[in-house]
Chains A and B, each alone.
Chain A
Amino acid sequence: MVKKWFHIATADFYVLTAGMRNHRRLYSGAFCALGILWAVYGAPFLIGGALNAIMPMSDIRALLMIMFPGLMRSAMMVLWIMLLLFPMTKALEEIKIGHWEIFLSNNVKTRDILTGSFLGGLPLYGLVTLFLAPLIITPFILAFEVSLIGVALIYTVLILTVLTVLWISNFATAAVMSKLGASSRGNDIAKALSFVIAFAAILPMYGLMFAAPIMTEILGTDIFLLLPFTWSADVVSWIAITFNGISLTEPEVAFFSTILQLDLLVSALLVGAFSVSVLGLTLGATGRVFTITAGARTERITTVGRENFILRGLRKLSGNSFGALLVVNMKDYFRKAQNLSKMFYGVILAIVLPIMMTFFADFGSEMNLIDIISAFGMMFAMVGAFPFVGTGFLESKDQLWIIQSAPQGASRFIKSRLAMAAFADVFLTLIVVVGMTFVLGLGTVDALLLLGFGFIVVIGSSMVAIGVTARNPDYEDTKSPAHQANMMTAMMVPMFAMMSSILLFIFLKITGLDAVVEVAIEPYYFQILCAFIGPAVLLSLGSIFVISGIRSLSSPDA
């Protein structure tokens, strides 16, 4: 009998490993072997060595043991969220369900499609887990001196958890994709969703970075015994305790019992029952809850209305063809859910970081504007770059040809995009600065200075983003090397530009000119002046990128 799911999994695996197709088996085997070697020998050797170099294990053993149950729950929660949401985010960045219709026309069942796509994507996320999990597990394995059987059992639980979570993620992704469909509108909504989901995935990591004790305390409460990640974490904890090599005493084990509440057997049963019921429920639901069928799922006819007063005002203000171009560009940009989502993502991350640092890391007290700019200046760069880099610029090469076929078309197009970005940047900066002002308790003068600083950074970053994308358009293909390169460049250039102030400080210090400058200008104002050097460099770089982008986009293909 033909195992249809197997062939779908094989095809997905071939797509995943297309980059190494000449040596697919060799590389896959090598990665797998490396992962196992890392988990069994590499991580214990390196992490054990590092821990011992800081402090002998005998001294930190007690601390690690106390931390273990709570931290394991936090780590398992992050693992759950990442494995659940990141595959979903990646899949939604670019809906590809055209091949589903081929499967269905060949009488393939939806459960075969699900199983095949799950197994096809498993090697990637499995490898990621194999490399990352030992980083968290190893210190505790060393602290408890867990036996080999114990280590094997811990990894078995981890593998079962990973498989379960990836299966849920795969099911949810397929359900969302089948509802959205591969239409232009569906793709737009999916991309928008992917940013919202990515934000939800990042939030717990922020929590772990800035509020680990509070998070651990919260996760230690009984209410979390209702959540599946707690069961997996507690089973791992119990295995480490049960198979310890340090002869834990009965009172010590009893202490862990009071923290963990449920014993090993109950926790293990819950993990097993959860995995089995997830598998049963999802397989049973594939046919009933959703069916992957061909059709215009999200096709909807949207009729545009009368222009709002802002667009009418802009049109009147400019009065020429550039104004018309700007207005149409704004309509195109702001109607795309993915662009709005990218703006939301940047702005919220820029506000969340100060909130986290102020409320959980006690950063907010006794802080002046320079400290704020040093700590959060980079966030403005993200607000400016993220919405305008990569996707949302040109939908296809044919679109570029339409633009290029007009005299000075590419140049006029990029300039109008820049004007639109500047317009949006005013509002984005304002939202972030108002948020920061409230969170950090800034005065009016400081808030205005931060607004000026923020706007220069935001517009400079937008210029870099637009220039970078114009030099190397990725045509909505988020999986393309061009997209990855654009994202990386548009994020890194503003970051390094902002660091130029630090380089100047170092230069002045080395040459001894700092003393001279401090005599000429008061130290506080000198610091403020220096803070604006980064944005000035960024603006200059942004201009260079825009000019270079215009030239690149205007020149004919070779």
Chain B
Amino acid sequence: MARNGISIKTEALCKNFDTVQAVRNLDLEIATGGRFGFLGPNGAGKTTTVRILSGLLKQTSGTAEVCGYSIDTQREEIKAITGLLPESPGLYSKLSAVEFLEFVGALNGRNGELLNRCIDSLLSMLGLEGRQDDLLESYSSGMKQKVLMASTLLHEPKLVFLDEPTSRLDPAASAIVKELILVLAEETETSFFICTHMTNFAEDVCDVIGILNEGELVTLGSPESIIDSAGTSDLEHAYLDIVGGRVDRKALLAWR
């Protein structure tokens, strides 16, 4: 599906909400099978970018292609080959995990034995097999996140948008997600576009990282190159140097 080995290509992509510039002149190129990590402070424009690229939000200006399809004219084609894990779980409280996944599968035009087998495998892999028939209203936020993760992969997308995929997960589940991303990228050439605050996670999983600050892409490169150019020991410190989040310990008690 991707043209010339490029899964995402944006040119001068902008999004304004009234007077707020959420995304400014974003130029980006992500290779097929790549694992792109999108880092940035709260409100930097990461989720907005994901929504534009997945066809849910119109950009104010600029263009983009996702797996060779234009976000202006080929949104349905984009949706057919991408998966989206939203930032917060919007699950149906009165459906069980199996029923919810069947719902998402049916929305994507799938049903029958093949879908059921796929659902069982995903739930089992994510450790939910014992609770798969319980209503989602009784699930913890981490369990809901796992169900959403499964729903994102259900139709075997070529490109997966993950918005904070591990923010609610325990370390064991995070490790599974991490490995799952790596395996899928290596074995099936699935591309990943991951928005996250977890610098450790990004450093372990992503081969390219972009740092967005106030809507602008300020850094782009491999984790190693970013760490090297910042002259720090890890990505977290490099990130803090770039976006300016160093903590002044004296200021912490100034409010007292």
Binding site for B on A (CB under 8 A): 183-185, 188, 299-304, 320-325, 328-329, 331-332, 335-336, 395-409, 412-413, 556-558
B56 CB-CB contact with A under 8 Å: yes
User: What residues of chain B lie closer than 8 Å to A403, measured between beta carbons?
Assistant: 107
Q: Which residue from chain B places its CB closest to the CB of A183 in the assembled complex?
A: B137
Among A324, A329, A400, A403, the most chain B Cβ lie within 10 Å of the Cβ of: A324
Task: List CB contacts (< 8 Å) of B66-90 with chain A.
Answer: 75-77, 79-80, 82-84, 86-90
Given contacts A304-B135, A401-B90, A406-B108, 5 further A-B contacts (CB under 8 A): A321-B111, A332-B94, A332-B103, A406-B79, A406-B155
User: How far is B81's CA from A482's CA once the two chains are assembled, in angstroms?
Assistant: 33
Query: Do the beta carbons of A324 and B106 come within 8 Å of each other?
Result: yes
User: What residues of chain A lie closer than 8 Å to B94, measured between beta carbons?
Assistant: 188, 331-332, 335-336
Query: Do the beta carbons of A557 and B57 come within 8 Å of each other?
Result: yes
User: How far is B86's CA from A329's CA once the two chains are assembled, in angstroms?
Assistant: 21
User: How far is B138's CA from A184's CA once the two chains are assembled, in angstroms?
Assistant: 9
Q: Which 3 pairs between the two chains have the least Cβ-Cβ distance?
A: A398-B90, A399-B90, A406-B107
Query: Do the beta carbons of A556 and B93 come within 8 Å of each other?
Result: no
User: How far is B131's CA from A301's CA once the two chains are assembled, in angstroms?
Assistant: 9
**B111 is contacted by which of A324, A398, A401 (Cβ under 8 Å)?**
A324
Query: Do the beta carbons of B111 and A304 come within 8 Å of each other?
Result: no
User: How far is B107's CA from A303's CA once the two chains are assembled, in angstroms?
Assistant: 24
Q: How far is the CB of A99 from chain B (nearest CB, A)?
A: 20
User: How far is B108's CA from A409's CA once the two chains are assembled, in angstroms?
Assistant: 7
User: How far is B93's CA from A512's CA once the two chains are assembled, in angstroms?
Assistant: 59
The contact size tier of chain B is: 35 or more
Query: Do the beta carbons of A322 and B106 come within 8 Å of each other?
Result: yes
User: How far is B25's CA from A255's CA once the two chains are assembled, in angstroms?
Assistant: 87
Q: How far is the CB of A310 from chain B (nearest CB, A)?
A: 16
Query: Do the beta carbons of B96 and A396 come within 8 Å of each other?
Result: no
Q: Which residue from chain B places its CB closest to the CB of A185 in the assembled complex?
A: B137
Query: Do the beta carbons of A556 and B57 come within 8 Å of each other?
Result: yes
B58 CB-CB contact with A under 8 Å: yes
**Chain B 89-116 interface 0/1 with A at a Cβ cutoff of 8 Å (1 = within):** 1111111100110111111111100000
> When A401-B56, A407-B80, A413-B107 are in contact, do A302 and B135 touch as well, CB less than 8 Å?
yes
B55 CB-CB contact with A under 8 Å: yes
B134 CB-CB contact with A under 8 Å: yes
Query: Do the beta carbons of B56 and A556 come within 8 Å of each other?
Result: yes
Q: Which residue from chain A places its CB closest to the CB of B90 in the assembled complex?
A: A398
> When A395-B92, A399-B91, A557-B57 are in contact, do A409 and B107 touch as well, CB less than 8 Å?
yes
User: What residues of chain B lie closer than 8 Å to A558, measured between beta carbons?
Assistant: 58
User: How far is B155's CA from A287's CA once the two chains are assembled, in angstroms?
Assistant: 53
Query: Do the beta carbons of B86 and A398 come within 8 Å of each other?
Result: yes
User: How far is B58's CA from A183's CA once the two chains are assembled, in angstroms?
Assistant: 34
User: What residues of chain A lie closer than 8 Å to B137, measured between beta carbons?
Assistant: 183-185, 299, 302
User: How far is B92's CA from A281's CA once the two chains are assembled, in angstroms?
Assistant: 41
User: How far is B118's CA from A469's CA once the two chains are assembled, in angstroms?
Assistant: 33
Q: How far is the CB of A61 from chain B (nearest CB, A)?
A: 60
User: How far is B105's CA from A331's CA once the two chains are assembled, in angstroms?
Assistant: 16
Q: How far is the CB of A481 from chain B (nearest CB, A)?
A: 19
Query: Do the beta carbons of B102 and A328 come within 8 Å of each other?
Result: yes
Query: Do the beta carbons of A324 and B105 come within 8 Å of each other?
Result: yes
Q: Which residue from chain B places its CB closest to the CB of A401 in the assembled complex?
A: B86
User: What residues of chain B lie closer than 8 Å to A328, measured between beta carbons?
Assistant: 95, 99-100, 102-103, 106
Sample (30) of A-B pairs whose CB atoms are under 8 Å apart: A183-B137, A184-B93, A185-B137, A301-B134, A302-B134, A302-B135, A304-B96, A321-B105, A325-B106, A328-B103, A329-B103, A332-B94, A335-B95, A335-B135, A396-B90, A398-B89, A400-B90, A401-B90, A402-B151, A404-B56, A405-B79, A406-B107, A406-B108, A407-B77, A407-B80, A408-B76, A556-B57, A557-B51, A557-B56, A557-B57
User: What residues of chain B lie closer than 8 Å to A300, measured between beta carbons?
Assistant: 138
Query: Do the beta carbons of B84 and A402 come within 8 Å of each other?
Result: yes
> When A302-B134, A408-B76, A413-B107 are in contact, do A395 and B58 touch as well, CB less than 8 Å?
no
User: What residues of chain A lie closer than 8 Å to B58, measured between beta carbons?
Assistant: 556-558
Query: Do the beta carbons of B109 and A402 come within 8 Å of each other?
Result: no
User: What residues of chain B lie closer than 8 Å to A401, measured between beta carbons?
Assistant: 51, 56, 84, 86, 90
Q: Which residue from chain A places its CB closest to the CB of B99 in the assembled complex?
A: A328
Q: How far is the CB of B45 from chain A (nearest CB, A)?
A: 15
B166 CB-CB contact with A under 8 Å: no
User: How far is B139's CA from A185's CA once the two chains are assembled, in angstroms?
Assistant: 12
User: What residues of chain A lie closer than 8 Å to B135, measured between beta carbons?
Assistant: 301-304, 335
Q: How far is the CB of B177 from chain A (nearest CB, A)?
A: 18
Q: Which residue from chain A places its CB closest to the CB of B110 in the assembled complex?
A: A321
**A320 is contacted by which of B79, B91, B111 (Cβ under 8 Å)?**
B111
Q: Which residue from chain B places its CB closest to the CB of A323 in the assembled complex?
A: B111
Among B91, B94, B134, the most chain A Cβ lie within 10 Å of the Cβ of: B94
B133 CB-CB contact with A under 8 Å: yes
B213 CB-CB contact with A under 8 Å: no
User: How far is B79's CA from A408's CA once the two chains are assembled, in angstroms?
Assistant: 9
User: How far is B133's CA from A556's CA once the two chains are assembled, in angstroms?
Assistant: 33
Q: How far is the CB of B96 from chain A (nearest CB, A)?
A: 5
Q: Which residue from chain B places its CB closest to the CB of A416 in the assembled complex?
A: B106
Q: How far is the CB of B72 from chain A (nearest CB, A)?
A: 10
User: How far is B108's CA from A556's CA once the two chains are assembled, in angstroms?
Assistant: 18
> When A328-B103, A331-B99 are in contact, do A398 and B87 touch as well, CB less than 8 Å?
yes
Q: How far is the CB of B46 from chain A (nearest CB, A)?
A: 15
Q: How far is the CB of B71 from chain A (nearest CB, A)?
A: 9
**A407 is contacted by which of B56, B106, B108 (Cβ under 8 Å)?**
B108
User: What residues of chain B lie closer than 8 Å to A556, measured between beta carbons?
Assistant: 55-58, 75
Q: Which residue from chain A places its CB closest to the CB of B57 in the assembled complex?
A: A557
B54 CB-CB contact with A under 8 Å: yes
User: How far is B99's CA from A331's CA once the two chains are assembled, in angstroms?
Assistant: 9
User: How far is B109's CA from A323's CA once the two chains are assembled, in angstroms?
Assistant: 10
User: What residues of chain A lie closer than 8 Å to B75, measured between beta carbons?
Assistant: 556
**A188 is contacted by which of B82, B93, B133, B148 (Cβ under 8 Å)?**
B93
User: What residues of chain A lie closer than 8 Å to B99, measured between beta carbons?
Assistant: 304, 328, 331-332
Query: Do the beta carbons of A398 and B88 come within 8 Å of each other?
Result: yes
User: How far is B107's CA from A142's CA once the two chains are assembled, in angstroms?
Assistant: 67
Q: How far is the CB of B105 from chain A (nearest CB, A)?
A: 7
